[in-house]
Amino acid sequence: MREIEIKAHLRERAVIIEKLKELGCAMGEPVAQEDIVYVKRAGSMDEFLGNDLFLRIRATKGETIFTLKYHPDRTQNGNSLSMPLEHELTVSSRPELEAMLALLGFTPALRIYKERQTSHYQKWEICLDDVEELGSFIEVEQLAEHEEDVGPVSDSLIAFLESLGVAAADIGAKRYDVQLLEKRFSAP
Tell which CATH classification among 3.60.20.10, 3.40.1190.20, 3.40.50.300, 2.40.320.10 matches the domain 2-186: 2.40.320.10
**pLDDT above 80: residue 80:** no
User: What pLDDT does 76 receive?
Assistant: 42
One DSSP character per residue, 5-17 reads EEEEE-S-HHHHH
So where are the chain's domains?
2-186
pTM across the whole model: 0.88
Asked whether residue 167 carries a pLDDT value surpassing 50, the answer given is: yes
Write down the number of H helices and E strands in the chain.
Answer: 5, 8
Q: Over range 3-28, report the average pLDDT.
A: 94
Q: What is the mean pLDDT of the chain?
A: 91
**Higher per-residue confidence, 83 vs 182:** 182
Position 38 scores a pLDDT of 98
CA 53, CA 72: separation in Å to the nearest integer?
Answer: 8
Query: H-helix or E-strand containing 47?
Result: helix 45-50
Residue 8 · residue 81 · CB < 8 Å: no
In this structure, the chain runs to a length of: 188
Percent of the chain topping pLDDT 90: 79
Categorise residue 164: left if φ over 0, alpha if ψ from -120 to 50, beta otherwise: alpha
Residue 74: what pLDDT?
58
> How much is the pLDDT for 77?
42
Residues 100-152 have pLDDT tens digits of 999 999 999 999 999 999 999 999 999 999 999 999 999 999 988 777 788 89
Q: How distant, in Å, are the alpha carbons of 18, 107, 164 from that of 14?
A: 6, 38, 12
Backbone angles phi, psi at 33, to 5 degrees: -130, 140
